[in-house]
Amino acid sequence: MEKYITIILLTLFFFCRHAVANEAVSTTKHYIVYMGEHSYSDSNSVTSSNHDLLASIIGSIREAEEATVYHYHKSFRGFSAKLMPEQAQKLRETESVISVFESKAYELHTTHSWEFLLHDFPQDNKSIEIESKSDVIVGVFDTGIWPESESFNDKGLGPIPERFKGKCVAGDLNNNFTCNRKIIGAQFYKDGYEAQRGLLDPRTVYLSPRDSNGHGTHTASTIAGSVVNNVSLFGMASGTARGGMPNARLAIYKVCWPGPGGCTDADILSAYDDAIHDGVDIISESLGYTPEVGIENLFTDVNSIGSFHAFQKGILVSASAGNTGTLSTVANGAPWIFTVAASTINREFNSYVHLGNSTILKGSSINPLKMDKHYGIVFATDVPAFGVQAETAGYCYPNTLDHKLIKGKIVVCSSSMNDPRTLKSQVVEDGGGVGMILIDPFYGNDIGFEHGIPTARLEAKEIEILQKHLKINKNATAIIYPTTTEVSNIIAAPKMAFFSSMGPNIIAPDVIKPDITAPGVNILAAWSPAAPTQFGSVNYRFDSGTSMSCPHATGVAAIIKSHRPTWSPAAIKSAIMTTATRTMRNNMELISKNPSGSPATPFDYGSGHINPAAALDPGLIYDYNTSDIIDFLCSTSGASKISNLATCKKPPIPTYDLNYPSIGVANFSGNISVSRTVTYNGDGPAEFTATWDTIPGVNVIVEPSELKFKEEGEKLSFKVHFVPEKISYEGLVLFGSITWSYENKYKVTSPIALNMASAIA
C-alpha cells in the first residue's frame, strides 16, 4: 500500500508541476528589451551580460538562456525573450534599460512607373543620369526574393564591394538558393515569428531567403531590378521592366512570413542589427504597424529604434506610410525615417463592356480573359439564394446567389468599402456565372484587381447608363473585353491613392508625415512564380500599395547616394522633399485625391510628388545629425530614459525646431518662431529669396527674407515667425509653404502645417 501511495504522490507532483509550468508558459509574452548602444568588445560579452540581467529577474542563467529568443549585439544592445508581464515590468525599472515592449506584428503595407518619373514628369529642363557613379547597397526587409528572376541578373556588374560584410544563407538544403553580383547577401529571420505563432511548416514555406509570397521580389525589383525587355502580364503594360537604379546591389533580409501580421518586431530588429553591421547604404521596408496596434512612443517602435541606429551610421531608411487611407493613420512617423505615400501614374487599365444595343461602357480591371460571345446580364439583387434578402445578395457574398439563375450569365455585383473584390468574382464563378460587372464607387481606378472570370469595374456615369439599359431591356446582353493599357498625357496624374495613409503624425506630432509621395498604383514588377495568383504562376505581376511607392523613393535615394556618396540620410531626404512638386503633370493643377477629386494636403502627400532629376541638384539642404535627433528626443514623450543615449540640454529645444525640410507645429496657440538652417549646394555665389503662401488667420514673417551665399557648403539660418490674427480657427489645421528661390535655377520648398490648438481671441 505504501508503494502505491508513493506512486500516486509522485504522479500528482509531476502533474501539478507540469500544470504550473504550462500556466507559466501560457502567461508569458514575447518582449523586446532595448538598451541602446553598448561598449562591449565582442558579441559574447553582450550575450553574457544580457543573460546576467535577465537571470536577476527570472531566477537563473539557465532560465534566462531558455527564455531568450534573440540577442541584439552588433549595432546596438538588447534582447527579446518570453517573459511574464511582471518580469517585463521589473526590467522596465532597471536603470540600464531604455524600453521594454511586447513584440508586435507588422503588416506588409515596373514597365512604366520609372519612365513616368524619369522622363514624362516635368523636370524643370533638367536631365538625369541613372547610371551608377559608385556602388550602392540597398538592404530590403520583406518576404525574401526569387533569385532566378531575370530582373536580378548580374550582367555588367563588377565585383561585390569589399566593404559588405553580409552573408548569403541558403537555408533549406532542398532550396538551391544562391546569390550573385546583384543579390550580394540574403538572410532570413523566423525565431520571433515562431515564438509568437508556432513553428513554420517547411512544406508550405521556404525556410530560406526565397520568396513564396511575391511581395519582396516585387519591391526589390522596383528598387534595383536589371533592365528586362518585352515584359508584360499577358500583354498588359507591355514594355521594358527596370528598377530605379539597375546597377545597385541588393542585400535581402527576409523578415515576413505568411498571414496577417507576419512580420514580427523581434525578427525586424534582428535584421536591423545585421544590416547596419553588414554595411548597407539604404534600408527599404514596405511594412509597418496598423493603427489598431498602437505605439506609446518612439522607444516602443522597432522601426524607430532600428532606423535611429541606422541613421547614426549614415544609412537612410525608406519606409511605407501605410494603406489605411484615413487621417492620423500614417505609419513610420519617426523624423529619421523617409516615409512614402502612394499616388497614381498616367496609365489606365480599361476593360470595356459592349452592351447588346452597341453601347460601350468604359470599365477598369486587370482582365486578360476573352469572352467568345454576348451573354445575358442579371443584377445580383434579382437572383438571391433561397432565404437571402435581395440587398445582401447584391454584394455577391458567399452562399447568397441562386446558382440556377446566374449560370451562363454576367452578374452585376455591388461592393462596400472593405469587401474583398476578388472573392465576389469567385462566388459568381462558383455559381456558374461567366463574368462580373462590379459597382464600386470607392476605389476609383486605384487598384486593378485580378479575377478568375472576365470582370469590369464601372464608375458612376457608366453604372447609370447600365441601369437604364437593363430597366428597358429585360433580356439585355453584353460582352466584357480584355483589358487594354492606355498611357496618355491626358490622364491627370499623379493623384493620391485612396488607400494611402494620412497624417497628422501621432508618434511625432511636430513632424509632417508622410514625407513624400511616389507611384504606388498598379505597378508591374517581378514576382515569385511560387506565389499564387488568379492567373496561375507568373514572373511579373501588378500590385498596389504604399509597399510599391516606398521602393520608388528608395530607388531615387539610391541614385542620389550614388552621385553624392558623402551625403547624410538627412541631406538625401531634404533634396528629395524640397524639390518635389505639388501639381499634376498634364494640367499643372494641384494634386487631388482619388476617387473624389478633392484637393490633397501635406497630410496626404507630404512635400509633394517625387521629382528625381531636380533632387540631384536641390540648391539648398536642410541637414541634421545624431546630436540634433537627441535634442529632438529629449523633448518628446518617453524621454525619461534618454540619459542612456545622451545628455539632454536644459531647457530642451522645441521639437518643431528640428532642422527638418518641412515645418510643423502641432500645438499652435500663440506667437511661435521656428528656426531653420540651410546649407548651400551649388557653384559660386548665390542669393536666395523667400516667398511664402498666405495662411488664413496667421501672419507669416520670414527673417531674413534673403540669404546670400558666398560658396558651396556655407550654412545660413533663418526664422519663420507665425503670429495669429484675431480670428478663431480652433481645431483646424492650416497649411502653407515657404520657397527659397535663386533666379530660375533653384526652388527649394517646404510645406507648413499649423494645428490651431485653441481659439484665438
Q: DSSP letter string over 488-503?
A: -TTS----B-TT----
| pLDDT at site 758 | 57
- Give the pLDDT band (50/70/90) at residue 637: low
Which of 530, 597, 630, 57 shows the shortest CA–CA distance to 258? 530
Whole-angstrom distance, CA of residue 452 vs CA of residue 365: 12
The pLDDT confidence band at residue 25, using thresholds 50, 70 and 90, is very low
Quote the CA–CA distance of 575 and 621 in Å, as a whole number. 6
Above 90 in pLDDT, residue 756?
no
- Does the pLDDT of residue 119 top 60, yes or no? no
Q: Residues 386-411: what's their mean pLDDT?
A: 97
CA neighbor of 284 nearest in space, from 240, 326, 327, 243 = 243
Tell me what pLDDT residue 643 has.
Answer: 67
CB 250 within 8 A of CB 183: yes
**Rounded distance, CA 317 to CA 138, Å?**
10
> What per-residue string of b and e applies to 166-182 under the rule 16 or more CB within 10 Å gives b?
bebeebeeeeebebbeb
What average pLDDT does range 419-439 have in this prediction? Answer: 94
Give tens-digit pLDDT for 313-334. 999 999 999 999 999 999 999 9
Closest CA to 216 of 141, 143, 319, 107: 143
Cα distance between residue 582 and residue 601, in whole Å: 9
Is the model more confident about 595 or about 60?
Answer: 60
What DSSP element (H or E) covers 307? Answer: helix 302-312
- pLDDT above 70 (res 5): no
pLDDT at 344: 92
Give the pLDDT of residue 283: 98
Query: What pLDDT does 445 receive?
Result: 61
Q: Alpha-carbon distance 395 to 377, whole Å? A: 16
Q: Which three cell numbers stand for residue 554?
A: 528608395
Using one digit for the tens of pLDDT, what is the confidence trace for 546-602?
A: 999 999 999 999 999 999 999 999 999 999 999 999 888 667 789 998 877 889 999
* 207 vs 194: CA distance, rounded Å: 12
What DSSP designation does 119 have?
A: I
Q: Does residue 93 sit in helix, strand or coil?
A: coil
Query: Please, which pLDDT band fits residue 533 given cuts at 50, 70 and 90?
Result: confident
pLDDT at 10 over 50: no
Which of 455-459, 485-489, 550-554 is the least confident region?
485-489
Classified as helix, coil or strand, 598 is coil
Confidence class for position 757, pLDDT limits 50, 70, 90: confident
Give pLDDT tens digits for 133-186.
Answer: 668 999 999 999 999 999 999 999 999 999 999 999 988 876 789 999 999 999
Average pLDDT score over residue span 517-527: 95
Q: Between 294 and 158, whose confidence is greater?
A: 158
Q: What is the pLDDT of residue 441?
A: 78
Quick check: 243 and 150 in contact, CB under 8 A?
no
Bond before 494 cis per omega within 30 degrees = yes
Q: Which residues pair with 447 in a beta bridge?
A: none
- Of 253-257, 274-278, 444-448, 718-722, where does mean pLDDT reach its minimum? 444-448
Task: Name the amino acid, one letter, at 362.
Answer: K
Rounded mean pLDDT, 40-44: 88
Q: Name beta bridge partners: 413.
A: 438
Total residue length of the chain: 761
What does the alpha-carbon distance between residue 518 and residue 515 come to, in Å, rounded to a whole number? 10
pLDDT at 410 > cutoff 50: yes
Q: Which residues are catalytic?
A: 142, 215, 547
| Confidence check: pLDDT of 9 > 80 | no
| Beta-carbon count within 10 A of 85 CB | 12
**Average pLDDT of 349-358?**
91
Of all residues in the chain, the percent with pLDDT exceeding 90 is 70
Give the relative orientation of helices 302-312 and 626-634 as an angle to the nearest 10 degrees: 150
Per-residue pLDDT averaged across 180-193, rounded? 97
Q: Which residues of 232-241 are buried (b: 16+ CB within 10 A; e: fewer)?
A: ebeebbebeb
Burial of 230 (0-12, 13-18, 19+ CB in 10 A): exposed
Q: H/E element holding 535?
A: none
Distances (CA, A) of 345 to 443, 487, 550, 608: 15, 9, 15, 14
pLDDT of 647 reads 81
- Please answer whether residues 682 and 619 qualify as being in contact, where contact means their C-beta atoms are separated by less than 8 angstroms: yes
With a CB cutoff of 8 Å and minimum separation 6, the contacts of 460 are 441
Question: In the 8-state DSSP scheme, what is residue 417?
Answer: T
Backbone angles phi, psi at 496, to 5 degrees: -70, 135
Q: How many CB atoms lie within 10 A of CB 526?
A: 31
The mean pLDDT value of the chain amounts to 89
**Looking at residue 390, what is its pLDDT?**
96
- Under a CB-based contact definition with an 8 Å cutoff, are residues 585 and 328 in contact? no
Q: Hey, what amino acid is at 62?
A: R
Q: What is the pLDDT of residue 639?
A: 60
Contact 20, 84 (CB under 8 A): no
Most confident stretch, 103-112, 297-306, 382-391, 416-425 = 382-391
User: Strand pairing partners for 746?
Assistant: 742
Determine the pLDDT at residue 1: 40
Give CA–CA dist 87/100, Å, rounded.
10
Contact 192, 270 (CB under 8 A): yes
329 grid coordinates: 493613420
